[in-house]
Amino acid sequence: MAQQHTHRVAVIGGDGIGPEVVREALRVIDAVGVTLATTDFDLGAARYLRDGFVLDDDTLEELRSYDAILLGAIGPALGDTRIPGGTLERGLLLRLRFGLDLYINYRPFRGVPGSIADGHSFAIVRENTEGPYAGEGGVLRHGTPHEIATQGSVNTRFGVERCVRYAFERAAALEVPKVTLVHKTNVLTYAGDLWQRVTTQVASEYRAIAVDYNHVDAACIYLVDDPTRYGIIVTDNLFGDILSDLAGAVSGGIGFAASGNLNPARTGPSLFEPVHGAAHDIAGTGRANPLAAISSAALMLEHLGEMSAARRVEVAVAEFDADVHQLTTSGVTDELLKRL
């Protein structure tokens, strides 16, 4: 018997194809019998262009009161120069990640038929609040020939350890439990050493889990050559960002890639979003693939404790045998609902 509690979910459709794919995700949640009380939040590039609003303290606090946040995509159209670079990334998306302490970016992949990773499931556990994303650094003598720009990478023992622990917890549930630390310990010796030592220490508590290490450049080759070597990849914020686009590409395209920006300590809501962007070029054409948003919704259901509903959606997506490229956005959902 599913719990009777109605989950309160903040919905940020956002820009481009964001609202279209979120609509499909909500249809699927409804079809598996989970009742949500949703509230729409008008945030993103379109909102910013209308009235200059990005995100303020009050809205952040309001969002904090929800059980979860479902986000479509945020960002202006390619070549739209009206929004200074970083305004929405730092001001909205990263502010949510940092402000709500969404310290894990969990990105599961499953190779669709015909892709390099065909049939293989693996996941990236990306640290989501530190690394080069923390904003450490600055600029001196801006615009002069003697300009200096520095951009540090913040790695705390606490932040690294909670991320690595999450990776091992996830790996423990796998059929073939394996964690691969990806870093660049041969060059980034300070941060790399911390990640390496923490991984070795945590690994000693999980004797049944195989542990491996790859340099990030080598991992790019392995992901393309033989993704089956990976179970859980654990890595820092920037490496995780880059590797997850590659992992999406070898798994059939970023249109399938889901993510959970998680606060496993549950001191606030977690945020679920497709890895892909707003894709303004296909917005409104019905050509957006909603499966990444639908899989993100499955991750949200799992986080909300709706295990059987989450599993149904996950299995339906994994076994989806229709060609998404021949279907419209809502057509994909129609086909998926038939298979639930």
Residue 222 belongs to what H/E stretch? Answer: helix 216-225
- Residues with Cβ within 8 Å of 113's Cβ and at least 6 positions away in sequence, in order, are 119, 321
93 binds, among ligand IPM, Mn ion, none (CB under 5 to 8 A by kind): ligand IPM
Q: Is 80 a catalytic residue?
A: no
- 301, two tokens: 């259901």
Which string of x and - marks every residue 231-250 that binds Mn ion (by CB under 5 A)? ----------x---------
Range 37-56, binding Mn ion (CB under 5 A): none
Range 35-64, binding ligand IPM (CB under 6 A): none
CB of 241 to ligand IPM, least distance (A): 4
Site for ligand IPM contains 92 (CB under 6 A): no
- Residues with Cβ within 8 Å of 144's Cβ and at least 6 positions away in sequence, in order, are none
Site for ligand IPM contains 15 (CB under 6 A): no
Mind giving me the DSSP string for 277-305? ---GGGTTTT---THHHHHHHHHHHHHTT
Contact 274, 14 (CB under 8 A): no
Residue type, 14: G
- Residues with Cβ within 8 Å of 316's Cβ and at least 6 positions away in sequence, in order, are 336, 339, 340
Q: Is 42 a catalytic residue?
A: no
Q: Considering beta carbons, is residue 185 or 237 the nearer one to Mn ion?
A: 237
Q: Is 338 a catalytic residue?
A: no
Residue 273 belongs to what H/E stretch? Answer: strand 270-274
Site for Mn ion contains 130 (CB under 5 A): no
Contact 132, 125 (CB under 8 A): no
Q: Considering beta carbons, is residue 248 or 268 the nearer one to ligand IPM?
A: 248
- Given the residues 42, 56, 217, 281, select the one marked as catalytic: 217
Q: Is 225 a catalytic residue?
A: no
- Given the residues 30, 40, 245, 323, select the one marked as catalytic: 245
Q: Considering beta carbons, is residue 191 or 275 the nearer one to ligand IPM?
A: 275
CB of 85 to ligand IPM, least distance (A): 11
Position among 56, 61, 62, 89 found at the interface with ligand IPM (CB under 6 A): 89
Encode burial over 199-215: b for 16+ CB neighbours within 10 A, e otherwise: beebbeebeebebebbb
Matching residue, tokens 């491996």? 212
Residue type, 321: D
Size of the site for Mn ion (CB under 5 A): 1
Residue type, 101: D
CB of 174 to ligand IPM, least distance (A): 23
Q: Is 56 a catalytic residue?
A: no
Range 205-244, binding ligand IPM (CB under 6 A): 241
> Whole-angstrom Cα distance, residue 110 to residue 123?
8
179 binds, among ligand IPM, Mn ion, none (CB under 5 to 8 A by kind): none
Residue ranges in contact with ligand IPM by CB under 6 A: 89, 93, 241, 275
Residue ranges in contact with Mn ion by CB under 5 A: 241
Which sequence positions are flagged as catalytic? 133, 184, 217, 241, 245
